[in-house]
Structure 1
């Protein structure tokens, strides 16, 4: 009798532990539009992806060296520098703290309402936000890559 009770209890505990992740990082604006605040691991993956515009195929060694704050080394293979650059970008991301999440929630709800006044279809279905420490372009520089908006922490 004791073994079945333990099995049932273990099953219940397992099911309770398999709940879906809380939606802390998602700002739902409408049934079809939402903003995703990427955590540092998701952001590190997203910041080095660009299948749309081919940024990483076009960026020049001098640009990478300037962004990393390193002197351009003559004779350095482009692939080695590219790997260092991608790792540098990945190390520059951070997650959003609760205060930032609350502010962004308010700002995006307001922006969504304003956009809907202009054109109900203007706001994209998904926007992903990446927070950086602003080491590669500097403070105050916002940019986009695919469906992401990259914003500095300041």
Structure 2
């Protein structure tokens, strides 16, 4: 868990000041509930379909998926919350994929699993892959998949 001085940014551009929230207390009829950083994060996520993709050396992203298999995955730049309610379909694929360095230049080919997030285009009347995340670590992929099954 990150320190309490971190702001969490969400897709809808709402930010939450974790210092302020960490010192809050909520009074209910039955019991007093202290707001810690962990509790605030839990309260924010409850009822929403957010999944956290932490920045690490084994997670990559592309918004330019090509069916030909020539998509270039870039390293994930920071911890990312993905709002799963924005997507109509989620699919998984595995295989060999191209990854880039931080500058966006081809680096090498790797094997891994990809999580495709699909949206529906009203004008084309068809689905398209809006965003894809490549996981080269089976453990990182497993954590995300477990979250999807428990949401």
TM-score in terms of structure 1 length: 0.19
Bigger radius of gyration, 1 or 2? 1
Give 1 or 2: higher strand fraction.
2
In the superposition, the TM-score normalised over structure 2's length comes to: 0.19
Flag the structure with more relative contact order, 1 or 2, with Cα contacts below 8 A and sequence separation at least 6: 1
Q: Which has the higher helix share?
A: 1
